[in-house]
Structure 1
Amino acid sequence: MQAYPLRLSPRDDVRTAIEHALRERKLQAGYVIQGIGSLDVAALRFAGADTPTEIRGDLEILTLAGSVSPDGAHLHMSIADAQGKVFGGHVTRGCTVRTTVELILVSLAGYSFARESDPQTGFLELVIRGGPDANSAG
Structure 2
Amino acid sequence: MKIFAFRLKSDEDLKQSLKNFAARQNIKAGFILTAIGSLKQATIRFANQATSIVLPDKFEILSLNGTIATTGVHLHIAISDTQGKTIGGHLDDGCIIYTTAEIVIGTSEEYTFLRSIDKQTGYKELEIIPNFSQSPS
> How do 1:1-138 residues align onto structure 2 when only pairs under 5 Å count?
1-131=1-131, 134=132
- Given that residues 27 and 68 in structure 2 are in contact (C-alpha distance below 8 angstroms), is that contact kept between their aligned partners in structure 1? no
Could you list the per-position Cα deviations for residues 12-36 of structure 1 after superposition, in whole angstroms to 9, with x for gaps in the alignment?
1101111111111112111112210
Q: What is the SS of the residue equivalent to 1:128?
A: strand
TM-score (norm 2): 0.93
Q: What is the SS of the residue equivalent to 1:57?
A: coil
Measured after TM superposition, the shift of residue 55 of structure 1 is 1.1
Could you list the per-position Cα deviations for residues 72-91 of structure 1 after superposition, in whole angstroms to 9, with x for gaps in the alignment?
11000000011111110000
Task: Give the unaligned 5+ runs of structure 1.
Answer: none
Q: Which stretch of structure 1 is more off in the superposition, 91-100 or 48-57?
A: 48-57
Amino acid of the structure 2 residue aligned with 1:56: P
Task: Give the unaligned 5+ runs of structure 2.
Answer: none
Measured after TM superposition, the shift of residue 135 of structure 1 is 5.4
Number of residue pairs aligned between Structure 1 and Structure 2: 134
Percent identity reads 35
Amino acid of the structure 1 residue aligned with 2:128: I
Q: What is the distance in 2 between the residues matched to 1:110 and 1:86?
A: 35
Q: Tell me the C-alpha RMSD between the 2 structures.
A: 1.3
Measured after TM superposition, the shift of residue 110 of structure 1 is 2.6
TM-score (norm 1): 0.92
- Given that residues 33 and 66 in structure 1 are in contact (C-alpha distance below 8 angstroms), is that contact kept between their aligned partners in structure 2? no
